[in-house]
Amino acid sequence: MTTDFTATRALFHIPEGMIYLDGNSLGPMPRAAAARVARTVTDEWGDMLITGWNRAGWMAQPTRVGDRIARLIGAEPGHVVMGDTLSIKVYQAIASALEMNPTRRVILSDSGNFPSDLYMADGLCRTLGQGYTLRVVAPEEVLDAIDETVAVTMITEVDYRTGRKHDMKAITARAHQKGAIAVWDLAHSAGAVPVDLAGCRADFAVGCTYKYLNSGPGGPAFIYVAPRHAEAARPALSGWLGHEAPFAFDPDYRPGRGIERMRVGTPPVLQLAALEAALDIWDMTNMADIRTASLALTDQFIAGIEAACPTLELATPRDHDARGSQVSFRHPEGYAIMQALIAHGVIGDFRAPDILRFGFTPLYIGADDVTRAIEILAKVMAEALWDRPDYKVKARVT
Amino acid sequence: MTTDFTATRALFHIPEGMIYLDGNSLGPMPRAAAARVARTVTDEWGDMLITGWNRAGWMAQPTRVGDRIARLIGAEPGHVVMGDTLSIKVYQAIASALEMNPTRRVILSDSGNFPSDLYMADGLCRTLGQGYTLRVVAPEEVLDAIDETVAVTMITEVDYRTGRKHDMKAITARAHQKGAIAVWDLAHSAGAVPVDLAGCRADFAVGCTYKYLNSGPGGPAFIYVAPRHAEAARPALSGWLGHEAPFAFDPDYRPGRGIERMRVGTPPVLQLAALEAALDIWDMTNMADIRTASLALTDQFIAGIEAACPTLELATPRDHDARGSQVSFRHPEGYAIMQALIAHGVIGDFRAPDILRFGFTPLYIGADDVTRAIEILAKVMAEALWDRPDYKVKARVT
């Protein structure tokens, strides 16, 4: 099956005249999402009330949806579950992983990781005390920094600013060779690049769904635990829905089977309904086709901007193997440039101090969009449209 | 202002012919919720895309909504924030509270607490090690069990099974007298009974919104930190949206101002939209009126059932001061009785081993409903309608 991207594109709502290159921050709305969520509100919550937990399948929704995501990230079926936010899932994963390596005290990460991952890890280390430490190195130093002191590696596969992609297989292998547990954050990978968690022998993985997977604002996160750890990992956030028998209301906690134990509280049923509408589109495609199309789009954008805008400095690797599904350029006036570009209908975003960031998502972005985006950015730069007072509110960082 | 409950009742959707006495588990749908959520999906997510974080006010939604709940629980404005699930919020509260009392190692709770609170506390103690312990006593022993070894009391004000209500003021005072920090779970209090967090000098409080507050399945939780602790409490779950400047993407965590630091990840915007529709109804009332009406309903139900069903044993206190907004009866065949009752249109629920549970919510339940519910339950009991094979699947606990 080859993906028909013309067909998938028609299934998203993009406002008229807008070129949306920010799906790496918040994916656009699948046209079916509104009806799907409305049905969940009216027909399920409204009419089924409490019986919706069984009749509408809300209780099993986190694992049912998890299985649909498992296919996109190379996870074994039955080993992904939805819930909470990505930061909470990061905490769950590293807390469990640290306990699996009790003689060591170091979480290794890199400075390209998303700050919330670093904050959550640092917060966990402070809670644990006893010498637990977060060690942060430069992205290119990760492989060499994995030594026998490292308990857990916590790496985000694709850098949120530059789109630089780590080598999951090599880092995981090195972690295992040195006796460390590998935790992967797939925030900018799931739906963006092919991921092979099982093939890479990742130990834990986490990710969010409101970026490339298009679940909408505040969509739930997911967590993967490798089958070989699934019955051993102790959940630090031991909520009732991760209990072996939640409705027995036992006073003592007994972890549920496998990935079920990583559930915590009541699942966000309305957000999951929106995600299910998006996954209906994902079911029409495969990550190999997505990757081929994504690389063509990012190659086109890099070539076009470099030819037309010499003052923009590429921050994204040219090497396909080291690139996610976004392209970033640096410019000291990046904030004003992005404001001007947005005002002209091309939506990217800005990340301090100087990064212009553009996400490319073949499901709804085509070569024509890229051509047009290049033309508009070229015009903004050539005519210095950004160099006006209304765009130069440089103090503000959004 | 006296609440017009006829008016509020018309604002909820209750399926035709159903008497819904399970709003203490999942509140019914406000009629405005579907349109409100649809607007958020279509007009905000669909048309505003990433700009919705500012233009639609998603980023400030957790504190804006928190303020509307603050009014219902006697909290100071600006000290309640929404997010995550109740279990996560329990963990946040007790983790911060334990650090404020570093020379002690005991979390005190009672056997009437909701199991997930006990599980989360136990999980935190295991993560901490170093002698941290969860001590669980009988509900009526809590006051005497608070001694100088207790770091934190973790009490759910209203017992989820019996509706027994603790004395928040007395327990908090005793906790403070003995040098402990008082954490309150308001799962069965918020929207059910008047709560005076500030007046009782509670230190932390948490609660959920999908019960009496009618936010829908998976609606977000809330957390309160007393103003005197707000700038001192260290968030154990230190996510980026609790950072002082989330969009500066600093490598180091600095807690945000006051309650903002208890935010973790991206807020569940769709679930919050449903909650806002419910809070529009809450804005029409006040907890004093709710309480007066609630006590009348529970008194009526207790008197009616005790007169008509002598084999049902009341599990809820008769004393108004010790009662929440639910009534529970015990019966060895409770599961089958509840199944039969539900089949006859009266929706309550069952909690193992023998509790029939009924929630009373004046916003949409009136005296006529109670009269009819009594008649139907009396018929089920008198004619032993429950004593049939289809209702007696006793092994199953739901």
pLDDT tens string B137-191: 999 999 999 999 999 999 999 999 999 999 999 999 999 999 999 999 999 999 9
Q: Is the ipTM of this complex over 0.95?
A: yes
pLDDT tens digits, A288-331: 999 999 999 999 999 999 999 999 999 999 999 999 999 999 99
Q: Do B237 and A266 touch (CB under 8 A)?
A: no
Rounded distance between C-alpha atoms, residue A117 and residue B274, angstroms: 29
Cis ω for the linkage preceding B353 (within 30 of 0) = yes
pLDDT in tens, A104-153: 999 999 999 999 999 999 999 999 999 999 999 999 999 999 999 999 99
Q: Which of A240, A275, A339, A398 to mutate to test the interface with B (most CBs of B within 10 A)?
A: A240
- Shortest distance, CA A187 to any CA of chain B (angstroms): 13
A:B CB pairs within 8 Å = 269
Q: Note if A159 is an active site residue.
A: no
Q: Which of residues 327-366 of A touch B (CB under 8 A)?
A: 347, 349, 351-352
B49, B217, B349: residue with CB nearest A347: B49
Number of neighbours of residue A245 by Cβ within 10 angstroms:
12
Structure tokens at A190: 């799931």
Compute φ and ψ for A86, nearest 5 degrees: -60, -40
Q: Helical H runs in A100-183? A: 115-128, 142-145, 168-177
Confidence of residue B397 (pLDDT cuts 50, 70, 90): very low
CATH T-level fold of B33-282: Aspartate Aminotransferase; domain 2 (3.40.640)
Under an 8 A CB cutoff, do B347 and A50 touch?
A: yes
Chain B residue with the nearest C-alpha to that of A50: B26
Q: Could you say which of A54, A237, A397 has the minimum Cβ distance to residue B91?
A: A237
Q: Same CATH topology for A5-30+286-382 and A33-282? A: no
Residue partners of A260: CB distance under 8 A and separation at least 6? A63, A81, A242
Whether the pLDDT of residue A397 is over 50: the answer is no
Judge residue A35's burial from the number of C-beta atoms within 10 Å of its C-beta, 0-12 exposed, 13-18 middle, 19 or more buried.
middle
| Per-residue confidence (pLDDT) for residue A388, from 0 to 100 | 85
- Residue A139: CA count within 13 A, CB half-sphere: 18
CB distance B217–A45 less than 8 Å?
Answer: yes
Residue A185 has φ and ψ, to the nearest 5°, of: -100, 120
pLDDT at A63 over 60: yes
**Is A211 part of the annotated catalytic residue set?**
yes
Amino acid of residue A69? I
What residues does each domain of chain B span?
5-31+286-382, 33-282
Spatial separation of the C-alpha atoms in residues A50 and A126, rounded to whole Å: 40
B185 is catalytic: yes
pLDDT of residue B388: 85
Work out the pLDDT band at A395, boundaries 50, 70, 90.
very low
DSSP for A62-108 reads HHHHHHHHHHHHTPPTT-EEEES-HHHHHHHHHHHHHHTSTT--EEE
Q: Which of B185, B203, B349, B369 is catalytic?
A: B185
Q: How many CB atoms lie within 10 A of CB B295?
A: 16
Cα–Cα distances in Å, from B135 out to A238, A240, B131? 17, 18, 12
CATH topology of domain B5-31+286-382: Aspartate Aminotransferase, domain 1 (3.90.1150)
pLDDT at B393 over 90: no
- Architecture of the structural domain at A5-30+286-382: Alpha-Beta Complex (3.90)
CB contact under 8 A, B41 and A37: yes
